[in-house]
């Protein structure tokens, strides 16, 4: 219980730090976003009074420049807590109503890709470890090494060039066919899956090689352990040994890697979403950068971070259930 409390407060602290840092980035940088916004407004309408400019900036960024700095900071933080991330300059809509609906789409892509890569990777890796030294093992290791050395966007570009344009097998962009009605009907869901194939494939293909290689290494190490010999001597079934003894112990060390992978999927999705013109969070983030739409950019970044904090917190809390040894650790003062 104490552990859960500590973990949750840590997550809240992370969000707090990120939001504060975003305030610092927008407000305090000389020549930064604030100066840019002001310069742009002066350029657009020179007849605007200074107070009017300040009012517009405040509406867009939640920062009222004529107040004292700590009041600006407090107002900004309160607005964020209320879910007010400012007003997008480019789309002229609240940031939350642009980014919010995009989050599930990004999570759909990244979670499916990570799940596919992880399950295929560890099954393949375990199988390679059992067949260690065979030609299957050598061939898979080679393929794994090669895929592990390929960035996901390269795969995406190749897939879109060949399967998308040359052979016209899959759509080259978008989330679903535009003529369909959204909702839980079969044509719509099929269209979503169909449009998701290429983006998910490009992320999963490069991921599974790495998982397979580390699973293979870990399994080979576990296969040499004494407790496994004991398990065999006890006459346990091969299935039980493979799942309860080998797989479980081989997967645990990959947990840190899984956490980091959850962290990088949003980053990976930024590039993939732009290649496939898939309106997820990363797509809007890049749109915002290109249009110098700072409220949308910062709001998008904060929302991506919050989504990730939630994801990692859930993963972290379930880990104690997976590995009872995980709690505590090196918390005592030693030297």
Residues 71-130 that bind another protein (CB under 8 A): 110, 113-114, 117, 121
- Of residues 236 through 255, those in contact with another protein by CB under 8 A are 253-254
What are all long-range contacts of 25-30, with beta carbons under 8 Å and residues at least 24 apart? 25/298, 26/61, 26/63, 26/294, 26/298, 27/63, 27/69, 27/72, 27/76
Contact positions with another protein (CB under 8 A) in 297-316: 297-298, 300-301, 304-305, 308-309, 312
Contact 282, 247 (CB under 8 A): no
Query: Dihedral, CA atoms, 89, 104, 119, 310, nearest 10 degrees?
Result: 80
Interface residue with another protein among 54, 140, 152, 191 (CB under 8 A) is 152
Only one of the segments 43-51, 77-85, 89-97, 284-292 lies at the binding site for another protein (rule: CB under 8 A); that segment is: 284-292
User: What are 68's two structure tokens?
Assistant: 């004292």
Candidate residues 20, 84, 123, 274; the one interacting with another protein per rule CB under 8 A:
274
Q: Does 220 engage in binding with another protein (CB under 8 A)?
A: yes
144 touches 209 (CB < 8 A): yes
Per-residue binding letters, 3-22, with another protein (x by CB under 8 A): -------xx-xx--xx----
At closest approach, how far in Å is the CB of 166 from another protein?
7
Rounded distance, CA 207 to CA 209, Å? 6
DSSP symbols for 17-63: HHHHHHHHHHHHSTTSHHHHHHHHHHHH-TT--HHHHHHHHHHHHS-
Q: Cβ of residue 112: shortest distance to another protein, in angstroms?
A: 12
Is residue 271 at the binding interface for another protein, with CB under 8 A as the rule? yes
Residue 33 engages another protein in binding (rule: CB under 8 A): yes
Q: Which helix (H) or strand (E) holds 65?
A: none
Cβ proximity to another protein, 14 vs 123, nearer residue: 14
Sign of CA dihedral 298, 303, 304, 309: positive
Burial 25-51 (b: 16+ CB within 10 A, else e): ebbeeeeebbeebbeebeeeeeeeeee
| Alpha-carbon distances, residue 34 vs 29, 225, 230, 259 (angstroms) | 8, 61, 67, 35
- Nearest to another protein of 191, 218 (CB atom): 218
Binding of residue 268 to another protein (CB under 8 A): yes
Q: Quote the least distance from Cβ 244 to another protein, whole Å.
A: 19
Q: Does 265 bind another protein (CB under 8 A)?
A: yes
By CB under 8 A, the count of residues binding another protein is: 88
Q: How far is the CB of 312 from another protein (least distance, A)?
A: 6
Q: 83 — alpha (psi -120 to 50), left (phi > 0) or beta?
A: left
Q: Identify which of residues 177 and 262 has a Cβ nearer to another protein in the complex.
A: 262
Q: Does 65 bind another protein (CB under 8 A)?
A: no
Q: From the CB of 81, what's the least distance to another protein, in Å? A: 18
Question: Among 164, 115, 168, 118, which Cα is nearest to 276's?
Answer: 164
211 touches another protein by CB under 8 A: yes
Please identify, using beta-carbon distances, which residue of 176 and 276 lies nearer to another protein: 276
Closest approach, Cβ 58 to another protein, in A, equals 19
331 in contact with another protein (CB under 8 A): yes
Choose, by CB under 8 A, the member of 99, 261, 284, 296 that binds another protein: 261
């Amino acid at each position: 219980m104490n552990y859960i409390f500590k973990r949750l407060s840590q997550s809240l602290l992370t969000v707090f730090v990120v939001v504060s840092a975003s305030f610092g980035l927008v407000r305090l940088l000389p020549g930064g976003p604030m100066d840019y916004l002001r310069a742009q407004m002066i350029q657009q309408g020179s007849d605007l009074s200074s107070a009017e400019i300040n009012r517009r900036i405040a509406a867009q960024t939640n920062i009222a420049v004529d107040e004292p700095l700590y009041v600006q900071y407090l107002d900004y933080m309160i607005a964020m807590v209320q879910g007010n991330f400012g007003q997008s300059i480019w789309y002229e809509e609240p940031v939350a109503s642009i980014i919010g609906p995009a989050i599930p789409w990004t999570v759909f892509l990244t979670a499916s890709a990570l799940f596919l890569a992880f399950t295929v990777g560890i099954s393949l890796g375990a199988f390679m470890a059992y067949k260690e030294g065979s030609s299957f093992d050598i061939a898979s290791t080679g393929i794994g090494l090669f895929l592990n050395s390929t960035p996901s966007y390269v795969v995406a570009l190749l897939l879109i060039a060949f399967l998308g344009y040359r052979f016209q097998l899959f759509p080259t962009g978008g989330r679903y066919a535009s003529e369909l009605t959204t909702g839980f009907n079969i044509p719509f869901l099929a269209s979503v899956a169909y449009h998701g194939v290429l983006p998910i494939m490009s992320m999963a293909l490069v991921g599974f090689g790495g998982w397979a290689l580390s699973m293979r290494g870990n399994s080979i190490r576990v296969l040499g352990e004494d407790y496994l010999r004991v398990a065999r001597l006890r006459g346990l079934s091969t299935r039980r040994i493979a799942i309860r003894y080998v797989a479980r112990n081989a997967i645990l060390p990959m947990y840190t890697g899984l956490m980091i992978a959850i962290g990088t999927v949003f980053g990976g999705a930024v590039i993939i979403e732009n290649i496939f013109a898939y309106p997820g969070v990363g797509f809007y983030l890049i749109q915002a950068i290109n249009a110098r739409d700072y409220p949308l950019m910062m709001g998008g970044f904060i929302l991506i971070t919050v989504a990730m904090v939630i994801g990692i917190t859930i993963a972290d809390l379930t880990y104690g259930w997976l590995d009872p040894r995980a709690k505590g650790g090196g918390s005592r003062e030693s030297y």
